[in-house]
Structure 1
């Protein structure tokens, strides 16, 4: 199903103008198929509770038209902003899908397509559980409607050339630049998510770790480094910013040194992530909870008595640092 409609039955009549002389109305719902330059599609995991549309399933962002919406594109844009804080520059009409309502009738959904290369973990959702990128090959293993899966497959199979605009075109196999892959590699260029992590040791050699909030989209109720994702900034600048925002620690860039990298992929076909770990030789302040919606507590731990559960790649990084290694790979053997 192409809609991410909350709250049960889709609206049957919002006053949309007739779509033809036969009196068939235009679609009253809109959803957005979001694709990145790696050929992955953004899916929304819906709350698993009774009375909502497709509880506990992966779906597209979107919902029903409201009286103040002047067009279905405005409906789609409003829903993107309200549900995920996304404001995408181009929404291109793709096709109209038909889905079954709770009462057994059908509803028409205008599907738009858009391109975005952001990190879904940085999105603050107001509805649902999480957003994630998935390749079409992985989607049959997910709980999702057949119509949404068919929609993704159809879009992914379309050639990049044709009357559709670049925003609506199927993702090119090369990277974002559109250049051909390097000779002899046979591989496409895939953007990697860059994460930064603070390996902070006190005078007793203990390591600072935080217990993530149970509602966190990633690793809830699990211990982890102070960490964040790079925005339009250098990795060291990101580390300095996150340390201040999350724990009130003041770190000078000159006091930061690189100590380890973990290059990982969580699932086969998933988006690769390069996790950079830095040590701060000096800092000012005492760790405090600045973002209680993300972290429940900061504690110091001996490296030989780390807490459980601990994010696996954080443990791998700590082990690598203790062993004097600079690099670890995880998850690639399953590809």
Structure 2
């Protein structure tokens, strides 16, 4: 408990990077918000959660299975390989995309404290193919890893698509090929359309910059295939809105972890049942589970998300091949 309080107080000294953007239903001129609803937890609620001591211990390390990397087949429209947490390698014909890449050992501003990785990345950094586009859904440390971003920039110099507010953070770190996006904004890269869409979440990298940058999800549309990357999100009406505006995805990457305790987590993190409902709302042809099994961010055990997803699939009569659990390093192709 003392270490948590110390960590939070040290984070309070981190610089705010606020900037003014056009006001909207999700920006009030000072901070971003979830339209029509808000459930930001206070510092004291964080302490209450930590003091309940209901956390299930995780193993210190979990070995990965080995899966061979292979190029996209000539007759395939897209392949998706789960690297870890919310990081996927998406391979389209002639274009490689990474989502929320995290290769650091901790998801924290410090190398000595914070959630520590228990599984190595399913694709080692040095084995990555040339990366053309990197998607960053929001600025939490388990999604925006500056060290990994700088490594990718130095090796591949990809285009970084980020939410409003996060462009300043990357540019301060020396990364210049950055495009900041608002909800429903579109960027074209070769034959692909990248549309930034809503999610139900929040942002902060310290105690003083809460919701000063946006959060969201991405729809990638190649014309032949649509892939939806949910980022981090609670369950809400935005999934139906996304389907209505952008169409049903062929493949959806949906978070299923960091959901206990429910009183604290539910508004901002889907549990597996919520994820299955999101899969159905989106009308996705197929979904892949993510955001679990790498870093312990909440109270559930390491195997609970997979177990609870199996229960939810049975409840909603969704087959395993429609909502898939992959091993880290494993992929599938269309």
Point out the structure with the larger strand share. 1
**Shorter-chain TM-score: which interval?**
under 0.3
- Normalising by the residue count of structure 2, what TM-score does the alignment of the two structures yield? 0.27
Higher relative contact order (CA 8 A, sep 6+): 2
Larger C-alpha radius of gyration, 1 or 2?
1
